[in-house]
Structure 1
Amino acid sequence: MSEETVPLETQFSLTVIALMKGIVSRQDDEKSWNKLVRQQAQIRDYVEKIGLDLRLDEAEGFAWLAQRSVQEGEIPLPRLVSRFRLSYATSLLLALLRGRLAEQDAQGGDTRLVLTLEEIQEMMAVFLPATGNQARRRDQVAAQVAKAEDLGFLRRLGGSQAWEVRRLLGLFIDAQWLGEFDQRLAEYRQNLSSEESEEEQG
């Protein structure tokens, strides 16, 4: 069945289901993205009834669903979008990637940021406890890269050991998040330095 013969109601349902599954990206599927943009008013009305908001950034080409804030006098609905708490290592990786995106934007030029596993490992090394087991460190960083990929913030380039940092990251991590994490990071580095000093003295 061609796209032209698919009923509009079915096209609408397929678009909503795609959003329910996760992030919809123009880069991943331009046809689905165009349908979403055309149907955004109807989608907003529909998901609002089940306690969700449609977040759509046409400039960057990303759309996703977020839990809608409960207004005064409304009866709270069960959450459909789960909250998740990021580990320190995952938060660190996302903050560093967000910083690299900001640096690249300031410099201009290529809008794509591509990093290898080795480059990501070098970025994170200064913020992680020292270890003589480089293979274990590489596995730890690779696990965080896989987590960021699952969250939709990294895209692996084929079967290579290189990933594109998706600009979606900048929409989720704002200045306030970075500021709060920078404070946690400073405290962590201070504690880490104290522990290393104690080990040297011991």
Structure 2
Amino acid sequence: MEERLSSAEESHIAAPAADLSVLLINLLKSVLYRDDDERQWAALLNLQARVRDYVAVLNLDLVLDEAEGYAFLKSRPEPADDDPAPRLPRLVARRPLSYPVSLLLALLRKKLAEFDAGGSDTRLVLSRDDIVELARVFLPDGPNEAKLIDQIEGTINKVVELGFLHKLKPAGSTAAGPFSYEVRRILKTFVDAQWLAEFDARLATYQLQLAGVKHAREESGNE
């Protein structure tokens, strides 16, 4: 005699499958943060083995940081030249970063390291003016101050799109106040010590060039 499942048992089986589908779709679209959706985060911790098995078929790995509270998918490393394994298409595309974006990411990563070393709070929140001041020191001066600030704000928006900054609502009852930004801790995964050291070396060279340009302008103006 065929044994039928009760409606409660059927619901219990269907729920993890539904959770898995939602998890996979959301992870393929963007980063999953614990603070943004506690229920989704709990489902991920419960189903992470199944998530890893599924995304492995797509040549992806699940990166899950329980301490910092974020998870995302990344492409597996490509096989070495002498490896006979087939080279699979990349599902997650690589995107080259412009100098202003790379600069801001490095500066935010340093700020996050300093914050972690000296504070007990877990969230680094910076105002728009704080970020502008961080970046403007390393950008060439121009005759139009407003244009320079607009360029930095454009870079901030790009970093928000990449998911490394989270724009917070202005304090108070009006939405017209200045925005603040939370530095997402996922930045620590993408900007490691080696990347930062290499960028610091390039930045030092750039600063020397920038100082030479400023000196040449001053000499030209004094003539």
Q: TM-score, normalised by structure 1?
A: 0.93
Pairing 1:175–2:173 present: no
> Are 2:105 and 1:99 equivalent residues in the alignment?
no
Query: Do structure 1's residue 48 and structure 2's residue 56 form an aligned pair?
Result: yes
1:163 paired with 2:171, answer: no
CA deviations on 1:132-188 (whole Å, 9 max, x unpaired) are 322111111111111111111111111441111111111211000100100110111
Q: Deviations over 1:107-132 (max 9, x none)?
A: 12222111111111111111000123
Do structure 1's residue 199 and structure 2's residue 217 form an aligned pair?
Answer: yes
In 1, distance between residues paired with 2:148 and 2:18?
A: 48
Give 1:7 deviation, angstroms: 3.6
Q: 1:58 maps to which residue?
A: 66
User: 1:46-81: per-residue Cα shift (whole Å, max 9, x none)?
Assistant: 111111111110110111111112443321111001
Within 1, Cα distance between the matches of 2:142 and 2:99?
17
Name the CA shift for 1:200/1:145 in 2 (closer, same or farther; >3 Å): same
- CA–CA distance in structure 1, aligned partners of residues 203 and 76 of structure 2: 30
5 Å-filtered alignment, 1:78-89, equals 78-89=89-100
- What residue number does 1:25 align with? 33
Matched, 1:11 2:19: yes
Q: TM-score, normalised by structure 2?
A: 0.85
Q: Paired residue for 2:120?
A: 109
For the residue of structure 2 that corresponds to 1:80, the secondary structure is coil
- Deviates further, 5-14 or 108-117: 5-14
Larger radius of gyration: 2
Who is 2:42 aligned against?
34
Gaps of 5+ in 1: none
User: Percent of aligned pairs with the same residue?
Assistant: 47
| Matches of 2:148 and 2:141, distance apart in 1 | 9
Measure the CA separation in 1 of the matches of 2:23 and 2:36. 14
- What is the RMSD of the two structures over their aligned residues, measured on CA atoms? 1.7
Give the secondary structure class of the aligned counterpart of 1:155.
Answer: strand
